[in-house]
Amino acid sequence: MSAIPMRRNDAKPAGMSPEEWQARQELACAYRLFDHFGWHEIIFNHITLRVPGEEGRFLINPFGLLYREVKASNLVKIDIQGKIIGDSRHPVNPAGFVVHSAVHANRPDAHCVMHTHTTAGMAVACQEDGLIFNNFTAVFFYDRLAYHDYEGITLDTDECERLAADLGGRDAMILRNHGLLTCGTSVALAFARMHLLQRACEVQIASQAGGARPRLVPAEIAAKAAMQAERAYVEGTDADLQFAALQRWMLEKDPGFLE
């Protein structure tokens, strides 16, 4: 589901399928949203998306551009090794794609992968207990959150296997001492998970600031809430409706991403 109409088709490169152009518009919208919410790391970090109908090919942001400069036409197409497919005016950051390639290569259902270094996300990643189940959004990840130990700057492709094994079949991960990662069958679902995980981390840090003992949600209630969230976002339409609303807002705020 997408709320972005196929408009400004004059900007679509000749020979590109409507499905790829639509995917590019959705991904570019996600980059502009990350910029608005402050989830960017200036020119670093990535959101990647499989190219519809093209096995083993992905879209990624041009290395060196701010997230607010990303648009449908300047997204770069790459293969699973991070090599550019076709022509591009911009380079990519192969080292930054290592985390994403680990997920894409091992999870055929992970069409979109998002990775952030937000302050709240990194702060929780630095805590021994990681995410604690003391708030409304945190419990959505009860028994659904993976962890991967820090191994330094992610340059070693051997780490891909370990990261993929740690993620397993889950769709959200805390990279210890590092940041957050979510994936999904669509941009909308990956974004919904990142928004919920980011909010959970923000509330955890805020609740800890006063020094009071955390009030944890009982395990059986947390498990129930996680199942309810799964039904609403995965089996239901909440993720699609949320991203559609964000797309409409971004069309009003900064429609240049469509180009």
Name every residue whose Cβ is closer than 8 Å to that of residue 231 and which is 6 or more positions away in sequence.
Answer: none
Per-residue tokens: 170:
């889950």
- The structural domains of the chain, with segments of one domain joined by +, span 17-254
DSSP state of 199: H
Alpha carbons 114 and 172: distance in angstroms, whole number: 10
Cβ neighbours around 3 below 10 Å, total: 18
Q: 172-175 and 146-148 as β-strands: parallel, antiparallel, unpaired?
A: parallel
Q: 57-60 and 76-79 as β-strands: parallel, antiparallel, unpaired?
A: antiparallel
Partnered with residue 179 across adjacent β-strands are 175
Alpha carbons 63 and 42: distance in angstroms, whole number: 10
pLDDT at 15: 85
Residue range 17-254, CATH number: 3.40.225.10
Residue 102 and residue 81 in contact, taking contact as beta carbons nearer than 8 Å: no
Alpha carbons 186 and 111: distance in angstroms, whole number: 6
Rg (CA), the chain: 18
pTM (two decimals)? 0.95
Give me the amino acid identity at 221: I
Alpha carbons 13 and 173: distance in angstroms, whole number: 36
Alpha carbons 148 and 165: distance in angstroms, whole number: 9
pLDDT by 10s per residue, the chain, length 259? 455 554 555 678 888 999 999 999 999 999 999 999 999 999 999 999 999 999 999 999 999 999 999 999 999 999 999 999 998 999 999 778 889 999 999 999 999 999 999 999 999 999 999 999 999 999 999 999 999 999 987 667 788 889 999 999 999 999 999 999 999 999 999 999 999 999 999 999 999 998 999 999 999 999 999 999 999 999 999 999 999 999 999 999 999 999 9
| 152-161 b/e (C-beta count within 10 Å ≥ 16 → b) | eebeeeebbe
